[in-house]
Structure 1
Amino acid sequence: MFDTMTMTKVVGGLCGTFLVFLLGGWVAEIIYVGGETHAEGEHSAAYVIEVPESGAEGEAAPVEEEVPFDVAFAAADASAGEAVFRNCRSCHALAEGENGVGPTLHNVVGRPVDAIEGYAYSGALEEVADVWSEENLYHFLQDPQGWAPGTKMTYQGLAAPEDRANLIAYLASNPG
């Protein structure tokens, strides 16, 4: 079954495979590391990506300043807010009396926080505000869980100040 020729072929195949792996590693080292070896055995990079210095190490990147409500709302566009409302449409309706997962947003701007009959509020909103003023909506829409911890609204919020302002302008101009 196993004669000398078969054994020679098997050993030759294993040695050939080992040789291919060794040569492949050597070629990859030349390509990716550059092939130069320093005295301590460290390799130099094949090419260096220049990164601009940005101050002291460990220093955090500058955080964007939050756009004040007045500034964001002064430039609000209700028609752009309609596009943002598509995010809300899965849980909220604009028609009066139509509650979904969340309460109706019919006349939401300026109404009391827990004014919708038949909707079970969590109680967290009443602790933070009495009325859905434009400014309260602005802060709530930025981070619902952060502004009113314990609220039932699980949406992560709108990060862009202009999106929040546009949405509030749309809700104020289109009561339902």
Structure 2
Amino acid sequence: MARPTPPAFDKTKTVAENRRAKYDYHLEDKFEAGIALTGTEVKSLRFGEGSIVESYAEVKNGEVWLINSNVPEFSHGNRHNHEPKRPRKLLLHRREVDKMQGAVERKGMTLVPLMIYFNSRGRAKVELALAKGKNAADKRATIKERDWKRDAARIMRDHG
């Protein structure tokens, strides 16, 4: 008997989104990962601050790390405030880490963070995707398809 498909991730408050990832990469598998954060990082994210536009994830020593993500210092933090661009450990099951590591090493794929959000339980999560980079022709095809869908929707709305 086939395993049932897991439900979509329960996103309640999106903090940061990498909208360019869908344009630059072919997205394959998506994963939900927890983030190991300090107290001031959580407070900063709850205020809606943070960016993952230039960030990526990598597998080192059987652990997945979020590199180059920017969570600005908390405005009311004291001298124990966090470093804004420090590497953050992502919390995943061993099976998921092994799958990611195999895809990155064998298939030449990249781990791209798509968004940081808080789930219904108030936990900070990252949506990761295994992705393969697009070349210039693929990007042009994506633009062409997006424009055609927009024009088709406009025609249907006007003549519907």
TM-score range with shorter-chain normalisation? under 0.3
User: If the length of structure 2 is used for normalisation, what is the TM-score?
Assistant: 0.22
Higher strand fraction: Structure 1 or Structure 2?
Answer: 2
User: If the length of structure 1 is used for normalisation, what is the TM-score?
Assistant: 0.21
Higher helix fraction: Structure 1 or Structure 2?
Answer: 1
Bigger Rg, which one: 1
